[in-house]
Amino acid sequence: MFDNDDGTGSALDENAIAIPALGHNFVMAPGVAVIKDNGDDDLTHSFKCSRCDAYGAVINGEHKTVAEGGKVAHSYGAEIVTQKPTCTVPGELQETCTLCGYVHKKAIEVTAHVLFKIDAKSPTCTKEGNKTYYYCSVCGQFFSDKDGQNPTSKEAMTIAKLGHDYTGAYHDNGDGTHSRACVNGCGTYGEKSAHTFDEAQSAATLCSVATCTKPATYYKSCSICGAKDSTVFTAGTALGHKMIAFTGQDASCTQDGHTAYTECERCHLREGYNVLKSTGHGAYQYNAEKSGSTADGSLKWSCYVCENGCGDYYMTLTVTSIDAQGTRVPNVNVSIYNADRSVNIQGTTDGNGDFVVPNEIRNRLKTGTYTVALEYVRDGSNYNTSGTIKVANGTITGSYGKLTPYGGNASGSIGGEPTGEFRCSMCSTYESAKNVPVYGWFISIIHFFVHMISRIGK
């Protein structure tokens, strides 16, 4: 190397004139810098050096080439969907670098299938069936699972129809023929064939059972399907009668009897049976053992029994009304009745104080419990008594009290109440005692002295 451009002069040392390199200057200012996509998997770009054609970037204050790591990640703007995904085709979106213009494309995953379940259906003789499967309403594909992971076809899910199989039970067609049923349960029958009737004996073909006088009868039936014909045939013999002997029974007063006879236990045919008409009751005889009276003598009865010994009886009953002084009282109302009033006998005592139950209603006094009630009204005052009697086996037990004023004492003289009456023991007349009890006693004393004075006068 020489001092002059034309090669003249003294030679110079090469190292003595060397000039240091300026270094890269990667301009990264937006709008000024020249930027390019690096095309790498890191999705970066770099900036052009203002002094040369190299590209790089300022990293931590140092200007580095791409080879030295001088590159910067893209700066993307908003994502734009360029293709919507379906259940079979992925979608796509794009994002563009705002500095270098690099367009980055990203896939959008496929959407789920819109599946509708097709329920399983059994095949029939005339129609196909199918297994359970699923159908996508978007892409039209078929799947064997509910998640849409196992594609299939409609044909693969179809079950072939069965076709008729006429090997089932025989059926009577009602027109003189029979057919066999389809075993698949479709309700149809196969080819018709005529019945073949014979004389089979069974419970199904029985027309009438054997009796004492006739053999059993049967319907002819088809040997194949069992259908019955209208033709009847007899089988076996009649059973004959099986007679049982019965003794006779004499007629009673009220019940018919009959003669000795025999009767078949099967058909109930009777031989020798004759009715013996009831005789009716004989004369009723007095039975002294079943007559008597109650303790106070207010009831008397007698029992009369049928002379034929049938046990039927009737009773005569006399009810006597007696006051507290033991005197018989005429014109007293008498009632005899049971609990439900199905028996209700009414009457009035005669001049002797007796009421005799009429014979025509005697049968009403059968075994049972009865109330005997006596009531007597005089001068506005009410005298009454009642009691209970029991009738059993022609005997009467029980009694009733003596006539006393309504609400008065059951013993002693009639009276004792302001609304009652006093009866004189000497003349049997009655005097009224009203309002105040002391007045009643006063009147009774005056009445007594009147009798005493009259006796002294005599």
- Report residue 163's pLDDT band, with 50, 70 and 90 as the boundaries: very high
**Quick check: is 180 in a domain?**
no
Among the ranges given (13-17, 79-83, 87-91, 404-408), the one the predictor scored with the smallest mean pLDDT: 404-408
The answer to whether residues 41 and 147 belong to one domain is no
The answer to which of 123-137, 287-301, 386-400 has the lowest mean pLDDT is 287-301
Residue 14 is predicted with a pLDDT of: 57
pLDDT at 226: 92
pLDDT band at 452 (very low <50, low <70, confident <90, very high): low
The residue among 276, 298, 327 that closes a domain is 276
Q: Does residue 152 sit in the same domain as residue 264?
A: no
Average the pLDDT over 427-435 and give the result. 41
Q: What is the mean pLDDT of the chain?
A: 81
54 pLDDT more than 50: yes
| Least confident interval from 26-35, 52-61, 199-208 | 26-35
Q: Are residues 316 and 407 in the same domain?
A: yes
Which of 222, 254, 276 is at the close of a domain?
276
The whole-angstrom separation of Cα 61 and Cα 52 is 19
Instruction: Examine the domain organization and report whether 289 and 379 are in the same domain.
Output: yes
State residue 338 phi and psi, 5-degree precision.
-100, -175
Domain that holds residue 265: 243-276
At 363 the pLDDT is 60
Q: With cut-offs at 50, 70 and 90, classify the pLDDT of residue 7.
A: low
User: Element (H or E) spanning 177, and its range?
Assistant: strand 177-180
Q: Are residues 288 and 257 in the same domain?
A: no
> What would the mean pLDDT of 370-378 be, rounded to a whole number?
85
CA distance from start to end of the chain: 216
In this structure, is residue 89 part of a structural domain?
no
In a domain, 272, yes or no: yes
Which pLDDT score, from 0 to 100, does residue 378 have? 74
- Give the residue with greater pLDDT, 419 vs 427: 427
- What are the tens digits of pLDDT across the range 9-50? 555 555 556 678 888 998 888 778 888 898 888 889 999 998
Higher pLDDT, 456 or 139: 139
Q: How confident is the model at residue 220 (pLDDT cuts 50, 70, 90)?
A: very high
Mean pLDDT to the nearest integer, 388-392: 81
Flag whether 9 is in a domain: no
Mean pLDDT across the stretch 355-363?
A: 70
Q: Is the pLDDT of residue 416 over 50?
A: no
Residues 257 and 341 occupy one common structural domain: no
Domain check: are 247 and 314 in the same one?
no
Task: Measure CA 31 to chain center.
Answer: 92
Percent pLDDT > 70 in the chain is: 79
pLDDT score recorded for residue 372: 87
Q: Give pLDDT tens digits for 259-268.
A: 999 999 999 9
Task: Write down which residue in 159, 174, 192 finishes a domain.
Answer: 159
62 vs 328: which has the higher pLDDT = 62
Phi, psi of 317 (to 5 degrees): -130, 130
Same domain, 300 and 403: yes
- Looking at per-residue confidence, does 377 or 49 come out higher? 49
Q: Check whether residue 308 and residue 408 sit in a common domain.
A: yes
Distance (Å, rounded) from C-alpha 330 to C-alpha 451?
Answer: 25
Q: What is the pLDDT of residue 433?
A: 38
Q: Which two tokens stand for residue 440?
A: 């009643």
**Cα gap 362→315, rounded to integer Å:** 6
CA dihedral defined by 341, 343, 349, 355, rounded to 10 degrees? Answer: -150
* DSSP, res 323: B
Look-up: residue for tokens 């996508």? 136
Question: 103 has which bridge partners?
Answer: 96
Burial class (CB in 10 A: 0-12, 13-18, 19+), 379: exposed
Q: Which two tokens stand for residue 449?
A: 């002295």
Classify 360 as helix, strand or coil: helix
Query: Are 408 and 289 members of one domain?
Result: yes
What's the mean pLDDT in 98-108? Answer: 90
Predicted confidence at residue 351, as pLDDT, reads 87
Residues 408 and 288 grouped into a single domain: yes
**Any domain includes 55:** yes
Domain contains 440:
no
Q: Same structural domain for residues 32 and 142?
A: no
Q: How many C-beta neighbours within 10 Å does residue 205 have?
A: 20
Closest alpha carbon to 416 in 428, 429, 400, 433: 433
pLDDT in the model for residue 442: 46
Domain assignment present for residue 426? The answer is: no
Establish if 430 belongs to a structural domain.
Answer: no
Structure confidence at residue 260 (pLDDT): 96
Q: Is the pLDDT confidence value at 437 over 70? A: no
Give the chain's domain count.
Answer: 4
Q: How confident is the model at residue 216 (pLDDT cuts 50, 70, 90)?
A: very high
Q: Which residue has the higher pLDDT, 239 or 304?
A: 239
More confident of the two residues 300 and 26: 26
Share of the chain above pLDDT 90, in %: 45
Is the pLDDT at 141 greater than 60, yes or no? yes
pTM of the model: 0.39
- Residue 311 is predicted with a pLDDT of 73
